[in-house]
Structure 1
Amino acid sequence: IFLCLPKFSTYEVATACALAIGADKLICIIDGPILDENGCHISFLPVQEADMLIRQRAEQSEIAAKYVKAFAEEDLTCLGHNDFIAAAHSSQNRQTLNGAHNPTFQNGVGFDNGNGLSGEQGFAIGGQERLSRLNGYLSELAAAAFVCRGGVRRVHLLDGTIGGVLLLELFKRDGMGTMVASDLYEGARMAKVTDLAGIKQIIKPLEESGTLVHRTDDELLKAIDSFAVMEREGQIIACAALFPFFKEKCGEVACIAVSPECRGQGQGDKLLGMILKISIFTAYVILDMIVLCYLFC
């Protein structure tokens, strides 16, 4: 007996199952790495950034355009994982994501089978667009963002051409693939006293090499409110400080450091961008913006 079923793509089945069972993670094996416009590997994307990227490039991809249409004009950037204050309220953000963005839409969009998009149907990608790879892995990112907005916390997009990539992704702290997440896997925030040990661990090798000015524990403790940190899975992976001079209405950026295993991923640039935003908000003029700031980003 042969049972005739409609044609469903792998991604359609996977995303539908992930949403139906309320999966914590969805892991997708693809045939290459996800790179940015400069050819650098993208290791992590908050769902807000993935959503923004898909919207910006919707004209380049039919699948991405369908994603944008499915979510109409909704915008996740207001939740701001990249904002210090929002980062401190990650649990609240997660509730907002899971509560406000369910996988059922009134303005259903027809995918491969033309039945519209609902909580019982996944996000279908395939056809010539997937085979041609003219748009990189934009369609896979759209599928990842789709399920994250439906309640799945994290999606791992792994390069299947790397031997043992699944084990490396799951058991290495920084993984091997690209993670799209609706929770705060990684984020920047203002430092707390409890971050002192993590900051010291990062800056110590640079102090010993003479790259950074040596600071005692007392000096770091007194200046802790001036520090911002990048946190990943509960561990500090980068830090930077903005020391204000209130009389002169200016500030000095100092102590930019990134954990060795996380260098080359733009973490220092992200923190520097945050500090610049703070300086604009507080009307500081930044002093000593030297090229050395970027050596360890």
Structure 2
Amino acid sequence: MSAVFNFTFVPWFRSVAPYIHMHRGKTFVVAIAGEAIAAGKLQHIAQDLALIQSMGVKVVLVHGFRPQVNEQLKAKGHAAKYSHGMRITDEVALDCAQEAAGQLRYEIEAAFSQGLPNTPMAGSTVRVISGNFITARPVGVLDGVDFRHSGLVRKVDVAGIARSLDHGAMVLLSPFGFSPTGEAFNLTMEEVATSVAIALQADKLIFLVEIPGIRVRPLEPEGEDNPIDTELPLATAEQLLTSLPGAQQPTDTGFYLQHCVKACKAGVERSHIIPFATDGAILLEVYVHDGIGTMVIDEKLESLREASADDVGGILQLIEPFEKDGTLVKRDRTEIERDIANYTIVEHDGVIFACAALYPYPEAKTGEMAALTVSPQSQGQGDGEKVLKRVEQRARAMGLDSIFVLTTRTMHWFLKRGFVQVDPDWLPDARKRKYNWDRRSLVFVKKLG
């Protein structure tokens, strides 16, 4: 095995580990558009979901079947009819939907039953359970349109699904529901997935669909190549929906977004829209910091807070590379443990991405901001500014008139943020005694208004 592979694999695997720990025991509802299966993506999706389940995630899989039903209708010489973004399900369409659902369930179960050596499924045991977990009611007549056998979710059998998940099975749901009288109703994949996620209070609702995600902000003219917003606060997503016309087609911006918003408002903290066209999209979204699609969040995932003893390891891991290259003065674990109350951190999903410490010199009415560090993974996203502002707030609360920093590398960053350079003789006497004249650090001060 090459040293280059070792060099890239080991840091990558370590960076993924916090997400593996964080998601263990969590419940994900994953909705796969029928278009993904029609495009031949099922085998890789099944492999990725089997891998996620093997890492302790409980998975409910909801499949769509829009193109498969349309194909059956076309073969029978029957036109597909839609209104209000839903299929009008007459007798012929209901038969086609039942045929398509049966075929897809067999295909999905077969995909999870593979176990050939030298494939990602080798050694995996994925038990897939389907059942009558959804009770439905008819859509009825809307604006003069009779939707016939099209339905809406009336009730989700939460206990039945939870029991199957707790026994280690993956639950597979087709977009079908049944009335108490045994009548079958054709549902939409989006509504089933959203209703199940809300009923289970799932940790994630993931739509694996035709679109890459959602873009709210205008693209920067230079230097930005990401066509989507990777994170949308719920309030922003709601605001966007009010400015959009009614979403009728899956490619309309609001089509999946409306379901993400509904889920988040009802207690599902994270809802995702990711593209099935990208191989491994689910893994990239769940186990990589920035993900690949758009995540609608009910809370600000990024937590700016004062550090606690539990954060010592994360701070050490963050600052170590900068100590090695000489950007930061080396600090050992004992020193950080002793001073942990001085630290402010930015934490994202259990991983620390930025930190700084404030050491007050009350007699001189100033304080030193030390060990300001931002992870290379999140540089340029404003984490440094967030930490600086919090340190300034803490300094003001202590009655300090200014803060200062010592640096050899990042003077321009501080100059842009209101710091001015001063002579080292400016330093408080207690700090001047510890000044390393060999390192020749520059001193920058910022007055606090």
TM-score norm. by structure 2 comes to 0.42
Structure with more of its chain in strand, by fraction: 2
2:382 corresponds to which residue?
266
Q: Distance in 2 between matches of 1:254 and 1:177?
A: 35
Residue deviations 1:247-273, cap 9 Å, x none? 343433332212333434433333334
2:413 corresponds to which residue?
292
Q: Distance in 1 between matches of 2:189 and 2:237?
A: 21
Query: Deviation of residue 139 (structure 1)?
Result: 6.8
Tell me if structure 2 keeps the 8 A contact 1:50–1:141.
Answer: no
- Residue in structure 2 matching 1:60, options 243, 249, 255: 243
SS at match of 2:363: coil
Which one-letter code corresponds to 1:292 in the other structure? W
Matched, 1:24 2:219: no
Matched, 1:127 2:306: no
Change in 2 beyond 3 A, CA 1:141/1:248: farther
| Overall identity of the aligned pairs, in % | 32
2:336 corresponds to which residue?
220
Between stretches 35-44 and 247-256, larger displacement belongs to 35-44
Which one-letter code corresponds to 1:242 in the other structure? L
Residue deviations 1:225-282, cap 9 Å, x none? 1111222333323212233332343433332212333434433333334334444555
Query: Deviation of residue 6 (structure 1)?
Result: 4.9
Q: Distance in 2 between matches of 1:294 and 1:43?
A: 30
Which one-letter code corresponds to 1:252 in the other structure? E
Residue deviations 1:118-163, cap 9 Å, x none? xxxxxxx6237x756xxxx577555423311202132122244422
SS at match of 1:244: strand
2:193 corresponds to which residue?
14
What is the RMSD computed on CA atoms of the aligned residues? Answer: 3.7
Change in 2 beyond 3 A, CA 1:203/1:131: same
Within-5 A mapping of 1:149-164: 149-164=265-280
Q: Distance in 1 between matches of 2:288 and 2:415?
A: 26
Q: Distance in 2 between matches of 1:288 and 1:50?
A: 37
Which one-letter code corresponds to 1:126 in the other structure? A
Tell me if structure 1 keeps the 8 A contact 2:237–2:296.
Answer: no
Unaligned runs of 5+ in 1: 63-124
Which one-letter code corresponds to 1:25 in the other structure? K
Within-5 A mapping of 1:81-230: 126-127=247-248, 131=251, 137=253, 140-141=256-257, 143-172=259-288, 175-182=291-298, 185-230=301-346
SS at match of 2:285: helix
Unaligned runs of 5+ in 2: 1-90, 95-147, 152-186, 406-410, 417-449
Query: Deviation of residue 183 (structure 1)?
Result: 6.0
Matched, 1:50 2:234: yes
Q: Distance in 1 between matches of 2:207 and 2:280?
A: 14
Tell me if structure 2 keeps the 8 A contact 1:190–1:225.
Answer: yes
Which one-letter code corresponds to 1:50 in the other structure? L
Between stretches 178-187 and 155-164, larger displacement belongs to 178-187
Change in 2 beyond 3 A, CA 1:22/1:198: closer
SS at match of 1:157: strand
Which one-letter code corresponds to 1:153 in the other structure? E
Which one-letter code corresponds to 2:388 in the other structure? L
Change in 2 beyond 3 A, CA 1:178/1:273: farther
Which structure has the larger Rg?
2
RCO comparison, higher one (Cα < 8 Å, 6+): 1
Between stretches 165-174 and 194-203, larger displacement belongs to 165-174
Tell me if structure 2 keeps the 8 A contact 1:253–1:286.
Answer: no
Change in 2 beyond 3 A, CA 1:20/1:221: closer
Q: Distance in 2 between matches of 1:286 and 1:160?
A: 52
SS at match of 1:212: coil
Q: Distance in 1 between matches of 2:149 and 2:385?
A: 50
Query: Deviation of residue 287 (structure 1)?
Result: 3.0
